[in-house]
Each structure stands twice: as structure tokens, then as C-alpha cells.
């Protein structure tokens, strides 16, 4: 069973310049995703896709394989699916290598551990899911704005449940995405077909988007 981990790590970031190399508890942010991927008992190849030489050098030093990403796939508006396509197409063309399963690990989720990855992959391998993603349980009342008017999305304001009674609601946390190669090539989406859930604790679901998130992650990782 060939399982390829793709770790996207572009150099640009508006909120935190060169975010993937910023220190978190004394180590570059990118180290966390690479290290847990390399330690996984299921992942057979760990690929870092980046347009920045410093990131590529760091990844290679840690033991990951690297792939230079084209500039057109490293803009602020770039989506991750074309990055995954570029990676998969590269290894198919150069090595005739096709993984059975692809797992996408974003560097913005440094509190995700090897255990989370292996538990998610173990569940996925024993299932008939086409894809799977990590989420945390939510008990929020959600609203959407339509023509400046708030509309309830997941509840009836006339019959509001207690938050504790709002079960089976989950928020995507961005830490783990798993897909079968065949499903991805058919849908060109990281999540498609029959989608499975891997639940993570909310307190470990931090997604680093700005400097305050980085400060919060520093506090939490020191207490793990």
C-alpha cells in the first residue's frame, strides 16, 4: 500500500511573511508536519511542495522529498488541488509512481500529532470511504447574511435547543485530508465521494493564519 503525504509550503503569506519557517517553540513551523509524516507507520513517501528555496532546503534537511512548485501555483489565490495535481503528475511522469492513497498535511496545523495521522489512516484503510477529513465537534448556532439580513443555518430560533443537544455538527479544522488516488483523479477535489470523519479535540485544532494564532499555538504546544 503506497501512501503519499503532500505538504504544501509556499513562501508567500500576507499575514506572516515566510510563515512556514517561523519558529514555534524553537522549531520552524514546517518541521511539525514533516516530522509527524516521516514518523507515521503508514505513510510511505513525504513530499514537500514549495516555491521557496529556504523551505525546500529545510524540508530536505529533515529527510522529506522536495518538489519545486511553479510560481503560478504559489500565489495568494492558488488552491491546493492544483498543487496536489502537480505533485501527482510529476511522480507519475518521472517515476511511473502512483500512490494508492494521498494525505494532505497543512503546516498551519502544528498540534496534529503522529497518533492523529495514524489513527485517521487506520480508520480510513479499514473503511470504504473515498475520502476523509479531520474536524472538531461544534455546538454553535450558525447564521448567514443574505441581503443584509441574518438567516439561521442550523437551528430554528423559535425552538432553540441547548448547545449540548446540538449533536452531529462538525467544523473542518484543516489538519488532515485523506483521499484515494482514484477518487481524487475523478473529482479533482481533496474531499469527494463517500466522506469519512476523523474527529480531533477542539483545543488541538488551531489553524495558524495570523500572528495571534502563532502566539496561541506557542502557548498550547508548550503544555502538550
Classify 202 as helix, strand or coil: helix
Structure confidence by residue, pLDDT tens digits, 65-87: 999 999 999 888 889 999 999 99
Identify the band that residue 155 occupies on the pLDDT scale cut at 50, 70 and 90. confident
Residue scoring higher pLDDT (215 or 122)? 122
- Which residue ranges make up each domain of the chain? 3-221
CA neighbor of 64 nearest in space, from 104, 32, 40, 37: 37
Q: Residue 90: what pLDDT?
A: 97
Report CA-CA distances (Å) from 56 to 8, 69, 165, 185.
Answer: 11, 10, 47, 26
Structure confidence at residue 136 as a pLDDT band (50, 70, 90): very high
How many CA atoms within 13 Å lie on the side-chain side of 56? Answer: 9
Query: What pLDDT does 16 receive?
Result: 85
CATH topology for the 3-221 domain: Spore Coat Polysaccharide Biosynthesis Protein SpsA; Chain A (3.90.550)
Average pLDDT value for the chain: 93
How far, in Å, CA of 206 to CA of 220, rounded? Answer: 9
Per DSSP, the three-state class of 108 is coil
Q: Is pLDDT at 148 greater than 80 in this prediction?
A: yes
Q: What is the pLDDT of residues 2-33, one digit of tens each?
A: 999 999 999 877 778 899 999 999 999 999 99
- Residue 162 pLDDT level (bands cut at 50, 70, 90): low
pTM of the entire predicted model: 0.92
Query: Mean pLDDT across the stretch 34-62?
Result: 97
Q: What are the CA-CA distances from residue 220 to residues 182, 198, 217 (Å)? A: 37, 21, 5
Residue range 107-128: mean pLDDT, rounded: 97
pLDDT for res 183: 98
pLDDT of 116 over the 80 cut? yes
For residues 57 and 59, give the distance between their C-alpha atoms in angstroms, rounded to a whole number.
5
What pLDDT score was predicted for residue 165? 61
DSSP lists the bridge partners of residue 50 as 68
Residue in the block written with cell 435547543:
161
Return the SS3 of 223: coil
CA distance 173 to 142: 17
Amino acid at each position: 500500500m503506497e501512501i503519499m503525504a503532500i505538504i504544501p509550503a509556499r513562501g508567500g503569506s500576507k499575514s506572516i511573511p515566510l510563515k512556514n519557517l517561523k519558529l514555534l517553540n524553537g522549531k520552524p513551523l514546517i518541521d511539525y508536519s514533516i516530522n509527524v509524516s516521516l514518523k507515521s507507520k503508514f505513510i510511505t513517501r513525504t513530499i514537500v511542495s514549495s516555491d521557496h528555496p529556504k523551505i525546500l532546503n529545510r524540508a530536505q534537511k529533515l529527510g522529506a522529498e522536495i518538489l519545486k512548485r511553479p510560481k503560478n501555483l504559489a500565489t495568494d489565490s492558488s488552491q491546493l488541488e492544483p498543487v496536489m495535481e502537480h505533485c501527482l503528475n510529476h511522480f507519475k511522469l518521472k517515476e511511473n509512481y502512483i500512490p494508492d492513497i494521498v494525505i494532505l498535511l497543512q503546516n498551519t496545523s502544528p498540534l496534529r500529532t503522529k497518533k492523529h495521522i495514524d489513527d485517521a489512516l487506520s480508520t480510513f484503510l479499514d473503511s470504504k470511504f473515498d475520502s476523509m477529513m479531520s474536524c472538531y465537534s461544534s455546538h454553535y448556532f450558525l447564521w448567514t447574511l443574505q441581503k443584509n439580513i441574518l438567516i439561521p443555518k442550523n437551528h430554528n430560533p423559535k425552538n432553540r435547543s441547548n448547545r449540548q443537544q446540538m449533536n452531529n455538527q462538525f467544523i473542518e479544522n484543516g489538519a488532515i485530508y485523506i483521499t484515494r488516488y482514484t477518487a481524487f483523479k475523478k473529482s479533482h477535489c481533496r474531499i469527494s465521494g463517500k466522506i469519512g470523519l476523523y474527529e480531533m479535540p477542539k483545543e488541538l485544532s488551531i489553524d495558524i493564519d495570523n500572528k495571534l494564532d502563532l502566539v496561541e499555538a506557542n502557548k498550547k504546544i508548550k503544555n502538550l
